[in-house]
Amino acid sequence: MYLPYPNIDPVLIHLGPISIRWYAISYIVGILTAWWVISRTLRNKDLWKNPPFNGKPPATMDDIGDLVVWATLGIVIGGRLGWDIFYGTILCSVSPDAGFCAGLPLAFLTNPLKIIAVWEGGMSFHGGVIGLFVAIWLFCRHRNLNLLAIGDLVTSVAPIGIFLVRIANFVNGELWGRPTDVPWAMVFPRAPDQLPRHPSQLYEAFLEGIVLFVILQFCVRVLRWHEKPGLIAGTFFVGYGLFRFTVEFFREPDAPFLGWFTMGMALCVPLMAAGLLLYWLALRPKPQAPRPAAPA
């Protein structure tokens, strides 16, 4: 016995030759919702009354509005280039017979258009994180803002977008799980063997989206970890890395990588290491300002 897969059209609206897909909508709604939550967070004066903020939030509403544009470009460019490097180049070099490779990575040289061919599929979450970091870093330098504090703001709402994108993956019937006999298994129409499989997209939506969002908001609003800039971002990196690493045991790998060790697992290791580095930066003792000399 298994659950029937709900065949939902991946295309939300057809406008003549233009198709608006749930996948694209998930990115747009995720970014706009995150913007709205950050805006409400900045207006909550109680969150910013203590040091190191002393009543002044780390950014203005105008800053966040402009950051949305930078962040969107970073996510899209980083996500695509990350897929090109991690999957199209590294993974396809290890497993060139994988169905999605189609001659990659050599095809990047013979047909450079494939580098940006997002319409053929292929976005990397880890690449998107790198692109987002670069965008935030450049923006903070441009506006003279605290990088760690802004990073905490952004990562505290990042699970919103992750949740929506994973739901869109489920609607698309892609990134399915490994074969299983659990009662909630599903047969995904695009899976070549038509075996019941784990709905691993929903596992990720729950863990990396809902659970991680609740944890991060608890850390901000109850534990007030944002008062040590870097702790929230570190928690996001470690939390996502642990959840994604775990789900990889249930998710069908894109292609063989290093035995049971998948590409997704490999990319989570440096992500978690970055989270631990942020913990160290946030918790290390701050240098004390020298006391003024006593009058002679």
Q: How far apart are CA 9 and CA 24, in angstroms?
A: 13
122 C-beta neighbours (distance < 10 Å), count = 19
Q: How far apart are CA 176 and CA 188, in angstroms?
A: 7
Q: Which residues pair with 18 in a beta bridge?
A: 15
> In this predicted structure, what is the pLDDT of residue 289?
57
Which region among 103-107, 206-210, 230-234 has the lowest average model confidence (pLDDT)? 103-107
Instruction: Of 162, 156, 168, 272, give the one whose Cα is nearest residue 209.
Output: 162
Q: Which residues pair with 261 in a beta bridge?
A: 258
Q: How far apart are CA 268 and CA 53, in angstroms?
A: 32
> In this predicted structure, what is the pLDDT of residue 239?
98
Does residue 211 have a pLDDT over 90? yes
- Asked if 57 and 97 count as a contact pair (C-beta separation under 8 A), the reply is no
> In this predicted structure, what is the pLDDT of residue 12?
87
> In this predicted structure, what is the pLDDT of residue 166?
96
Which region among 13-22, 24-33, 199-208 has the lowest average model confidence (pLDDT)? 13-22
Compute CA 256 distance to the chain's CA centroid, rounded to the nearest angstrom.
23
Q: Which residues pair with 177 in a beta bridge?
A: 251
> In this predicted structure, what is the pLDDT of residue 285?
85
> In this predicted structure, what is the pLDDT of residue 20?
86
Q: How far apart are CA 78 and CA 131, in angstroms?
A: 4
> In this predicted structure, what is the pLDDT of residue 291?
65
Task: Read off the pLDDT of residues 213-271 as tens digits, 9 standing for 90 and up.
Answer: 999 999 999 999 999 999 999 999 999 999 999 999 999 998 999 999 999 999 999 99
Q: What are the b/e assignments for 64-84, b being 16+ CB within 10 Å? A: beebeebbbebbbbbbbbbbb
Coil, helix or strand at residue 10: coil
| Average pLDDT value for the chain | 93
Task: Read off the pLDDT of residues 69-89 as tens digits, 9 standing for 90 and up.
Answer: 999 999 999 999 999 999 999
**284 class by beta-carbon count within 10 Å (0-12 exposed, 13-18 middle, 19+ buried):** exposed
Taking CA atoms, 108 is separated from 31, 76, 93, 126, 175, in Å, by 30, 18, 12, 20, 23
Q: What is the 3-state secondary structure (H, E, C) of 158-176?
A: HHHHHHHHHHHHHHHCCCC
Cα angle: 49, vertex 228, 47; to 5 degrees: 25
> In this predicted structure, what is the pLDDT of residue 268?
97
89-95 average pLDDT score: 94
pTM, full prediction: 0.93
Taking CA atoms, 263 is separated from 9, 150, 268, in Å, by 29, 29, 9
* Residue 293 pLDDT class (50, 70, 90 cuts): low
